[in-house]
Amino acid sequence: MKQYKVFVIANLIFGILLIALSKVILPVCGNGTMRCGTSTTIEAILGIALLAIAVVAAGLIKKKIHTILSALTLVIGVFVSLVPTVIVGTCPHAHMACHSITAPVLALVGVAEALFAAGNLVYLRLRRRNEQNEY
């Protein structure tokens, strides 16, 4: 399977996973009035951004644009990890489900997404270097 197809499929999976986790599967205290609700809303928006990146990447085959999209995915992955833990946060009470379950799971999804994007960037750079050395 071509590299860009793997990138598109992974971004689709990460985007749908973020939206599903933040809005359906994982428990939060408030809808949007509390920090945990705001945090999950931002996570869903980041999931939609990943879906948009996947759609753009599916329509383009140029390698340079895939490098840019992969770097953008890396940045989104970092934000996905930081939003529930540092930037917005969740409820300060350790016994609340949004603090003990939702924030760590979303942070791990963000780390996995960032690692995938970093690996994809390394792959694209190495492939580009090998193509330049052939000529």
* Span 68-85, average pLDDT: 93
Q: Alpha-carbon torsion 97, 47, 9, 5, what sign?
A: negative
Q: Which amino acid is at 75?
A: V
Q: What gap in Å lies between CA 47 and CA 30, rounded to an integer?
A: 19
Q: How confident is the model at residue 89 (pLDDT cuts 50, 70, 90)?
A: confident
Number of H helices, E strands in the chain: 5, 0
How many residues in total does the chain contain? 135
Contacts of 103 (CB under 8 A, 6+ apart): 36, 39, 84, 85, 89, 90
Q: What is the pLDDT of residue 100?
A: 82
Check pLDDT > 90 for residue 114: yes
Q: Tell me if the pTM is above 0.75.
A: yes
Question: pLDDT averaged over the chain?
Answer: 86
